[in-house]
Structure 1
Amino acid sequence: MKAPRAEDPNPSWFSRHSGALFVGGFGLVFSVAGLLIWCVAVPSVRARAAAAEALSVVVPGQVPTHLEGARVLLEAHIAADAPEVFRDFVAFRRREFRGWKEEGGRRREQWETKEIVAPAIALGDGRLRVLVVNPDYEMKGEPHRWRSTEGLEYMLFGPSTQDVVGFRRGDQVTIDGVLEPRSRPPGIRAATMAGGDAAGYRAGLRESVAALEIVGPIFSGVGGILFVGGLVSLCRRRK
């Protein structure tokens, strides 16, 4: 039977200070993340929200009267004959469940995006039809969800739970995009397709700004406290 291994009487500097270094490094990462949110993400989303507030809101029947290249918010319904690309979805995002992860004593779900299908799509019906001429636009506020299982199932070698959110025929949407009114039918080059009306789309952007304005300082504050705590611990250990 082997004798127990004796502790190193002269541990390295890194071993003696690993705890303080970890706390300080973790705090530094949090602080930098908070600063990036505050200095980069907040101005970007705020500018996007301000731009959306200034846009004209139009409906399909008004598109031919607008200038080529005008950026607008188009309120419309997805056409009744829009092709269904998965089950009864005409555009969707699909995620796969990848198990749980323990974080801070809490069990959190882990998901991986597997597929995004955002095709060119017709809006409106009959003479009041507008075509989203481009694929791969951003989707927000999808009103419908489908899951492949009732509970969450994760299998390493087999089908795990699939979660799909997206749009169906007849859904009201708001398109943030640039008009192509001279095409037949009139078209719009979409940057974003959001569920609901223009007021809801604008409100969502404002809420995103408010959330980031809270999250950024919290990250910076918590990170700063941890970083300073790590430095203080290092200084005390040197005495």
Structure 2
Amino acid sequence: MKILVPVKRVVDYNVKIRVKADGTGVETASVKFSMNPFDEIAVEEAVRLKEAGKATEVVVVSLGPSAAQETLRTALAMGADRAILVQTDAEVQPLAVAKVLKALVDKEQPRIVLLGKQAIDDDCNQTGQMLAALLGWPQGTFASKVAVGDDALTVTREIDGGLETIELTLPAVVTADLRLNEPRYASLPNIMKAKKKPFETLTPGSLGVDVTPRLTTLKVVEPPRRKAGVKVADVAALVDKLKNDARVI
């Protein structure tokens, strides 16, 4: 069974985001990039399924600039078998990503597409659901546990009310939540081996997909700074502040 794992190159989660002076986006010059943490969890889960004998091949794919090769190499060092880069310098939005992934699914014929539930740069949480709709496949989103059977997949989902367990017929789309696993660190020998693993580069055009953005960002601004709190002398003063200043009671 083949598993396809999409990964995204994002600004590292340890970096303090700064908005550009002209308000056109966030500052990316001289900023550290890394694999989206939720996608890293998806790669780890796919590799574990292969190690358990439930999968025969793990293919990682990324859509973005040539610099995304580094992200794919990281996934290969974690244990993925081969990588595909769909190279483009255009701004790619969730629907365009889903369409590219659908084209790759048609080409690769995986039984499971396993990806992070969202990317930490835009927090859209849309690509997995859109891909499932385009493919007509069942989906298990926000997965905190995955168990693979012969022709079915049992997914434990994190929902507002607690946990929900569903069974999906294969092929299926699964999006990984934070508590699915803890990703491994790539060892130096595996990093060296990753350089020799198969690596294919495509373009959206070669897949017959138009990735032209459909949404336009008008302006990016930082959130307003929170005002400093004040100390009150007693309960009566607190109630007065809540009633007359905050107007919450």
* TM-score > 0.5 by shorter chain: no
Tell me the TM-score normalized by structure 2.
Answer: 0.21
| Richer in strand (by share) | 1
Higher relative contact order (CA 8 A, sep 6+): 1
Name the structure with the higher helix share.
1
So what's the TM-score if we normalise by structure 1?
0.22
